Structure 1
């Protein structure tokens, strides 16, 4: 950190770019600043003091509460067998009842898009093990997910070499990064890229061995 207030602000707000391979949440910076300001007022006017861990925890809670009020954002990443980028896309969805519904809609969208590109062999990865089991017929679909899963199954039936597999979130930070970036888009039109965005290149390279 430096003696310049503006330099320090810049550094906090760009942690993800400077430390792309670390667990730096680029959306948390503004919420930390907001929580520090609120803590300052609490200390001045009520004499209440908060330590660093509780400040970070409250900042995360503020951020998650705000994000839960926004419409859902889903993102997809298409890579070849060597991990090279083929396509990235992001799309806003209407407010849904749960995260697993958002994930199911993302899978349905991915299968439709890739099928339209005429790819012959596709593995769709999701970090929801429960949803994976429902799509693959291991578990019965939840009633509210049944129409979406039925549509996914129908799409997969026309693409014999397509399959849905479980893959932990920790191994796919690229998709999470795209979802976070899509929160800043001013337009609600779905975004589709065939060229690597600058803000994604370092993460994609880091995940290639996976």
Structure 2
């Protein structure tokens, strides 16, 4: 997870290990729940979450109900988002999500660590290039 303000400044960075999820979709859903909870704990009120997992994005937007563990995790998220004054989830391609992708690929190295207003040194260049790329539009 990387949290930025509307100027692109880093507010927080965090990583979580996969929690032994049975599938990639469940790993994404569990990470999403963890990020929503963390954003709430950090006191963020207006949030936009981005995911490169199309299945998670579609499951969230369709708001389908079911008895599977996936639906239980998504319902937990729905309960938590009422805390925020503004909330949205958007889909971005992996190439547009390079910082979060790097953290996910290295989650065992950075697991369960939260950096406030900073990033691990290995991410400095990626964060800078992401901000510059977003300013180009």
TM-score over 0.5 for the alignment? yes
**Matching residue of 2:113:** 191
Aligned with residue 140 of structure 1, among 64, 83, 107: 64
TM, length-normalised to structure 1: 0.57
| SS of match in other structure, 2:15 | strand
Deviations 1:146-202 (A, max 9, x none): 1101111111123241221111111011112122333335xx6x1011223221110
- Alignment length, in residue pairs? 131
Q: Tell me if the contact between 1:135 and 1:141 (Cα under 8 Å) persists in the aligned partners.
A: no
* Residue 151 (structure 1) aligned with residue 54 (structure 2): no
| Offset, 1:85 | 1.2
Aligned with residue 167 of structure 1, among 68, 88, 92: 92
**Matching residue of 2:102:** 177
CA distance in 2, matches of 1:101, 1:160: 27
CA distance in 2, matches of 1:182, 1:97: 17
TM, length-normalised to structure 2: 0.84
CA distance in 2, matches of 1:85, 1:79: 4
| SS of match in other structure, 1:184 | helix
CA distance in 2, matches of 1:98, 1:107: 14
Structure 2 residue runs of 5 or longer lacking an equivalent are none
Structure 1 residue runs of 5 or longer lacking an equivalent are 1-75
Runs of 4+ in 1 over 3 A off after TM superposition: none
Supply the RMSD in Å over aligned alpha carbons: 1.9
Query: Highest Rg: 1 or 2?
Result: 1
CA distance in 2, matches of 1:128, 1:181: 17
